[in-house]
Amino acid sequence: MRYIKLPSENFETFFNSLREWGKIYGPVKKGEVYSFQEVQGAGDMALDYNRTMLPPKKFFVRPRDQILHLKNGRWENGVDDERFVLFGLHSCDIHGLKILDKVYLGEPADPYYKARRKNALIIGISCMPDEYCFCKSLGTDFAMDGFDLFLHELPDGWLVRVGSVRGHEIAWENEELFDEVTEEDIQHFKEFEERRASSFQRKLSKEGLADMLDLAYNSPVWKKYADICLACGNCNMVCPTCRCYEVCDKWINAYEAVRERRYDSCFMESHGLVAGGHNFRPTRLDRFRHRYYCKSYFDPSAGFNCVGCGRCDEFCPAGIEHVKVLDEVRGSLQ
Amino acid sequence: MSENPYVSHEARILEVKDLTPREKLFTLRFVDPEVGENFNFKPGQFVIVDVRGFGEFPISLCSSPTRKGYIQLCIRKAGRMTKFVHKMREGEIVGIRGPYGNDFPMEEMEDSNLVLVAGGLGMAPLRSVLWYAIDSGRYEQIWLFYGTKAYEDLLFRDEVVHLLKHGDAVNCKVKLAYEVESPSCVYLEKGFSDRVCRGVVTDLFRGEEFDVENTYALICGPPIMYKFVVRELLNRKLSPGRIYMTLERRMRCGIGKCGHCVVGTSTSLKYVCKDGPVFTYWDALSTRGLI
């Protein structure tokens, strides 16, 4: 890894230089919540944000996405070629994108996702955990790759980790904005990371978690929470790794139609329905349990399907807490 | 265009045949001969049918790769999309993309006995296996146990009844079970009392012995059927690794992206479209919710 320093006074110039890449999207405060929006100046962003409501997946797997266009009886498709900058991604969201990569870039690759991923410049930023974060338990609190540049806060600027060739190029082109990293900066970086590591309030005990949950398939805890759950699907929408989508064709006039895909939720009754009316997950309990199993699935090569961002907890209208459910299910085994 | 895995290839409907009041057999050929040439499928695989401007649905291939130049799909009128397709006529165009999913291990099963167990519409994917096995002649004894609700629901009736009468010549023994009595059934039952009976598909196992060392079972039918058929096969000491079944789930993409066909729990999560639709009973034992 290459490390360089971006002094505070150069931050704005650096930000403006990114315009050459494309439109810049960053965290913006809207009322009580944050969201990734297009920003014109560095001052528009709230870089000390905790989490946005929708994760950055919305730039790659869009809530509504027209994938094909039917004209003269034939499908036409156009993949996006517009480059853009995602500024200020937290480590958990970078890990979330890596999980999506595994699915969408796996053979055969999704051409829409692939093009958008190629066009996106990812700039990460360090953060302090709040009461919902449990990324440390899942090992997603620090990103080792998956970004072009990663900014770590220092008292007088940013320690920048260069994570890709593209990141190198950007640093190279803006050479005059960056300094060498000093011993003092390293000390500050170390202190920040240590303070951050000790600030986590929530912890998921993941030892043998996948098997424990599987063994607790008939635990009454699932039912207890499924009864509280409103089955609204909010947790699916805000999850950085949930990616189920539904497809539908729509006529826009008598001669043209579009094929659109949009977010789907495993909490919807239609999710497990097949032709003829048979449903493989007919009850809310089945669907509730399925989401937890999906998120807690442990892939030996990629880890869990959850990155511990805390969105599902913060935006759950029923106040269901992910870690608490898993702990209780595990506890019910004894 | 062709690089986009979501874009289907045009296929022309060569023939539409009524199989039952609910099911029709569509014979298709790709408009572009090159596409047709490159479309290599194996028994057990499925395709996504694209009715442009209306939507897509997955359907298993019921023809055999041994019979080239066309593909066949047995489509039941079960919803909005299939109702639309049922109105289509010869000469019309649909989109086809695929083939998708894994397949029955036909090569591994060579020189063995095959027990095909079909329930209702489950006959469609197994017909592909059946014709493959008969055409290639590389299999020992083939059993086809086929259970339907009534004689009128019997899919590929001519072929099945023909094999019932003359199947022994190609080492194929067909047995039929029906639930609702009708004159045709009674007639068949009279002629083939040891092969046709009133009851469920598991009743057909009665009196049959398999060489467990050299037999594979292949199952397809409604969800409720699997448990009972598997029990019957295990009772006969067939190894779980030799019991293959093909499953149905809602599939939108067919290539493991849309997430609708995900089954299993935290220790084993599988996409039916990509990891299946053919699974062994070992898979079912390690993946909850598979059957």
In this prediction, the residues of chain B whose per-residue pLDDT falls under 50 are 1-2
* Average pLDDT of the segment spanning A220-240: 96
Nearest C-alpha of chain B: how many angstroms from A302?
13
- A residues 16-75 lying closer than 8 A (beta carbon) to B: 67-68, 70, 73, 75
Confidence at residue A79, expressed as pLDDT on a 0 to 100 scale: 85
Residues of B in contact with A257 (CB under 8 A): 52-53
Measured CA to CA, the distance from residue B163 to residue A88 in angstroms comes to: 68
pLDDT band per the 50, 70, 90 thresholds, residue A81: confident
The per-residue pLDDT for range A265-311, each reduced to its tens digit, is: 999 999 999 888 889 999 999 999 999 999 999 888 878 999 999 99
Residue A187: burial class (beta carbons within 10 Å; 0-12, 13-18, 19+): exposed
Q: Check if the beta carbon of residue B238 is closer than 8 Å to that of residue B281.
A: no
pLDDT band per the 50, 70, 90 thresholds, residue A314: very high
- A192 has a chain B CB within 8 A of its CB: no
Confidence at residue B1, expressed as pLDDT on a 0 to 100 scale: 40
Q: 3-state DSSP call for residue A270?
A: helix
Q: Residue B68 contacts by C-beta under 8 Å, 6 or more apart in sequence?
A: none
Of B253, B265, B289, the CB nearest to A213: B265
Residue A270: burial class (beta carbons within 10 Å; 0-12, 13-18, 19+): exposed
Please name the residue of chain B whose CA is at the shortest distance from the CA of residue A273.
B250
Please name the residue of chain A whose CA is at the shortest distance from the CA of residue B57.
A275
Does the annotation list B273 as a binding residue? Answer: yes
Q: Letter for the amino acid at A167? A: G
Q: What fold, for B113-246?
A: Rossmann fold (3.40.50)
Confidence at residue A264, expressed as pLDDT on a 0 to 100 scale: 95
The per-residue pLDDT for range A7-47, each reduced to its tens digit, is: 999 999 999 999 999 999 999 999 999 999 999 999 999 99
ipTM (interface pTM)? 0.91
Of A106, A210, A249, the CB nearest to B55: A249
- A103 has a chain B CB within 8 A of its CB: yes
Confidence at residue B2, expressed as pLDDT on a 0 to 100 scale: 46
Fold matches, B9-100 and B113-246: no
Q: How far from B75 is each of A104, B97, B145, CA to CA, in Å? A: 30, 16, 21
- A330 has a chain B CB within 8 A of its CB: no
Confidence at residue B161, expressed as pLDDT on a 0 to 100 scale: 94
Q: Check if the beta carbon of residue A142 is closer than 8 Å to that of residue A150.
A: no
Nearest C-alpha of chain B: how many angstroms from A111?
6
Q: Is the pLDDT of residue A263 over 90?
A: yes
What ranges do the domains of chain A cover? 2-60+78-197, 209-244+264-331
The per-residue pLDDT for range B145-172, each reduced to its tens digit, is: 999 999 999 999 999 999 999 999 999 9
Confidence at residue B20, expressed as pLDDT on a 0 to 100 scale: 94
Confidence at residue A111, expressed as pLDDT on a 0 to 100 scale: 94
Nearest C-alpha of chain B: how many angstroms from A220?
17
What ranges do the domains of chain B cover? 9-100, 113-246
B259 and A213: CB-CB below 8 Å?
no
Does the annotation list B74 as a binding residue? Answer: no
Residues of A in contact with B288 (CB under 8 A): 214, 217
Name which of A274, A301, A326 to mutate to probe chain B: the one with the most chain B Cβ atoms within 10 A of its Cβ: A274
- A252 has a chain B CB within 8 A of its CB: no
* Average pLDDT of the segment spanning A68-90: 91
Enter the pTM of the model: 0.94
Nearest C-alpha of chain A: how many angstroms from B261?
7
A249 and B52: CB-CB below 8 Å?
yes
**CATH dotted code for B9-100:** 2.40.30.10
Confidence at residue B291, expressed as pLDDT on a 0 to 100 scale: 85
Please name the residue of chain A whose CA is at the shortest distance from the CA of residue B82.
A275
Confidence at residue A101, expressed as pLDDT on a 0 to 100 scale: 95
Confidence at residue A275, expressed as pLDDT on a 0 to 100 scale: 85
Measured CA to CA, the distance from residue A189 to residue A125 in angstroms comes to: 13
Q: 3-state DSSP call for residue A104?
A: helix
- A272 has a chain B CB within 8 A of its CB: yes
- A257 has a chain B CB within 8 A of its CB: yes
Q: Residue A199 contacts by C-beta under 8 Å, 6 or more apart in sequence?
A: A128, A129
- A302 has a chain B CB within 8 A of its CB: no
B267 and A298: CB-CB below 8 Å?
yes
Of B93, B255, B259, the CB nearest to A244: B259
Q: What is the mean pLDDT of chain A?
A: 94
Cis amide bond preceding A317, omega within 30: no
First to last CA, chain A: 46
Q: Is the pLDDT of residue A320 over 70?
A: yes
Confidence at residue A161, expressed as pLDDT on a 0 to 100 scale: 97
